[in-house]
Chains A and B, each alone.
Chain A
Amino acid sequence: MSKVLINVANLVKHFTLATSNPFVRDKPVVRAVDGVSFTVSEGETLGLVGESGCGKSTVGRLILNLLPASSGAVEFDGHDILSMDSAGMRSVRKDLQIIFQDPHASLNPRMTVEEIILEPLYAQGHKRTPELRAYAAELLEMVGLPARFRNRHPHQFSGGQRQRIGIARAIAPKPKLVVCDEAVSALDVSVQAQVINLMQDLKAKMGMSYLFIGHDLAVVRHISDRIAVMYLGRIVEIARCDDLFSRPLHPYTQALMAAIPVAHPRLRHKRDRVRGELPSPLSPPKGCHFHPRCPFAQDICRSEAPQLRQMGDEHQASCHFAEDLPEKATAAQ
């Protein structure tokens, strides 16, 4: 197995909400990220999947140190990111990049494409040289845009083209890890497929790692080597792709899979949908967060929070009944 690039241990982020009432002592706290641990190895793609509000995007911001973490540790390439001074952090940043969801908000409308792409290098202190400009042209060609577009402004491009520009910016400093925060979610399906293919090509060429954050299980599966499933601020299951899909060991993972629409009308079947909705992260259920929606919940689930347990080779799940789950699930159908 290749070297671990980033090691996230017990990462926690609590947001304290402001209230209008000055007499309230206990301000409401949202546990957006509540003890998340995972690793990403060199050249690997880890998918981070979950529904809105599960904290997956916050995890992305935390490991880039764009938000201060409440507690926990992030070790990236031998550096302890959360305790670094700003000068040290700046030099690490060239190895850590991000691609955003919204192609309209992620590019500075006042800059030309070339300036946008080279901004990470300028920010690192590089000067504008002919070599650097040639590099910008090269980057544009790499993401499938003609180099002659380099003096244009973002508003002249379509959503898919802008996303390519955002990708070019992210790979410009030759990073070791790129966080893709819902990078293809805002695109139309036909364009989405183009961008996914591009991201895979680039990874093959440049050998970096991805942390691919998304909500569409099919898309995440397509691009990832391993997948971590998040629910209400916690990772409930993490496994290699094929393993996760052939042997899901957490009822929430099963529910997510069951919710994916079928690929062909012939495969339609009446199924048991997961009940209820995501509880408010302000007052998450006691014990296992998923118990109010879980068809297999027992007393222990309501009182005791399960820990992530090793369930096989590179497969972890946090369910009290992970061992029995495959049988239970088949029995229920």
Chain B
Amino acid sequence: MIGYTVSRLLQAIPILFLVSLFAFGMIYLIPGDAATVIGGPEASAADLEEIRQNMGLNEPFYLQITSFYTNLFQGDLGKSLMLGTPVLDAIIDRTPITLGISIYSLSITIIFGLVTGIIAALNHNKLLDQIATLFALIGISLPNFWLALILIVLFSVHLGWFPTGGYVAFSESPIGWLKTTTMPAVALALLQAGLLTRITRSTMLEVLSQDYIRTARAKGLSEWVVVGQHALANVMMPVVTVLGLILSVLLSGSIVIEVIYNIPGLGSLMGNAILSRDFPLVQGGLISIAASLLFLNIVVDVLYFWLDPRIRIKSRD
């Protein structure tokens, strides 16, 4: 178990290196003079020079990359051009907000996705299955930023149930938090719930066709035990492994959703950084988000390793 965890962590090192290299290389994608693009059309020659100084663009390439990695190892992701504060501080500042909404959204996803997926599989090819399948399909086909706008029109403009945007911290007012986060969480959950429903359904169908399910029925066990214990235990494992994917999709969505709902989280921070060409912030954000996702994936894999006796016990022998 410890050996497995360590080996997974070791495997992550080259990936992390490549991740940071890609983030570093992003600046070199900029066609022409990077400083002009970053500074924008109104920037004066002095402004541009300052940007170049700040980002070390005047240095030779090898110095740029060494100082990038030296700083990275010291936990220094540079200074944000737009905020003027260290990138890491800005990220740490905004993370709890996004984390809260993500957990909210993830709960909706898991409850909805698992239940619909299982119901669909148990009613294979019947009406309920078709309805669930259709909902899942719509979920993965609707643009979520559009849904976010429609939700605002319906529930804020017409019904007035929720504010059109903004954010109230949970510590200030739990009700206010719920009011400001419910629509974003639902808009975010739609896509993942669609994904999870589809994955759960196909996994359940696969499991239900296995020999050991037939054995469980032949033993005379009730259908409830057969499905609720024998099948579910086997369904949960592959479903756990897609959690990493779902989190990644969730963070993808949070950029545009947080911008639309005007929520000061990590997503809108990244969105605004990109729009204002704040490259140190973009680089830092990309690296820290990718690193946390990698880490979460390792946690999920270790969890899977621990859950599945077929893997766990083989490695002990």
Contact = CB atoms under 8 A, between A and B. Distances in A.
Contact of A22 (B3, B305, B311): B3
Interface in B1-38: 3-4, 6-7, 10
Contacts of A20: 3-4, 7, 305, 311, 315
Interface string A19-32: 11111100000000
A23 B311 CA distance: 18
Contacts of A22: 3, 6-7, 10
Interface string B279-317: 000000000000000000000000001000001000100
The 9 closest A-B pairs by CB, nearest first: A21-B3, A20-B4, A22-B7, A20-B315, A20-B7, A23-B3, A22-B10, A20-B3, A21-B7
Interface of A: 19-24
A220 B61 CA distance: 71
A149 B78 CA distance: 71
A15 to B, nearest CB: 15
A79 to B, nearest CB: 41
Nearest to A280: B317
A24 B311 CA distance: 17
B220 to A, nearest CB: 30
20 contacts: A19-B3, A19-B315, A20-B3, A20-B4, A20-B7, A20-B305, A20-B311, A20-B315, A21-B3, A21-B4, A21-B6, A21-B7, A21-B315, A22-B3, A22-B6, A22-B7, A22-B10, A23-B3, A23-B6, A24-B3
A21 B314 CA distance: 12
The bracket for how many chain B residues form the interface is: under 10
A19 B3 CA distance: 10
Nearest to A23: B3
Given A21-B4, A21-B315, A23-B3, 11 more contacts: A20-B3, A20-B4, A20-B7, A20-B305, A20-B311, A21-B3, A21-B7, A22-B3, A22-B6, A22-B7, A23-B6
A21 B4 CA distance: 5
Nearest to A17: B314
Contacts of B315: 19-21
Nearest to A28: B317
Contacts of A24: 3
A176 B48 CA distance: 78
B253 to A, nearest CB: 33
A30 to B, nearest CB: 13
Nearest to B6: A22
A276 B113 CA distance: 48
Nearest to B316: A21
A21 B7 CA distance: 6
Contacts of B4: 20-21
Interface string B209-242: 0000000000000000000000000000000000
Contacts of B305: 20
Nearest to A21: B3
A88 to B, nearest CB: 38
Nearest to B2: A21
Contacts of B311: 20
A28 to B, nearest CB: 8
Nearest to B311: A20
Contacts of B7: 20-22
B316 to A, nearest CB: 10
Contacts of B3: 19-24
B36 to A, nearest CB: 48
Nearest to B10: A22
B311 to A, nearest CB: 8
Contacts of A23: 3, 6
A270 B21 CA distance: 73
A19 B6 CA distance: 13
Contacts of B6: 21-23
A20 to B, nearest CB: 4
Contacts of B10: 22
B29 to A, nearest CB: 36
A160 to B, nearest CB: 27
> Counting chain A CB atoms within 10 Å of each CB, which of B10, B311, B315 scores highest?
B315
A24 B6 CA distance: 12
B201 to A, nearest CB: 28
Nearest to A282: B317
A23 B9 CA distance: 13
Contacts of A21: 3-4, 6-7, 315
A318 B223 CA distance: 55
B40 to A, nearest CB: 49
A22 B311 CA distance: 16
B221 to A, nearest CB: 29
Nearest to B8: A20
A19 B4 CA distance: 9
A141 B311 CA distance: 50
A295 to B, nearest CB: 29
A23 B315 CA distance: 13
B13 to A, nearest CB: 12
Nearest to A19: B315
A279 to B, nearest CB: 14
A175 B259 CA distance: 71
A182 B7 CA distance: 39
B302 to A, nearest CB: 11
A22 B13 CA distance: 14
A47 B17 CA distance: 55
A281 to B, nearest CB: 13
Nearest to A22: B7
A24 B315 CA distance: 11
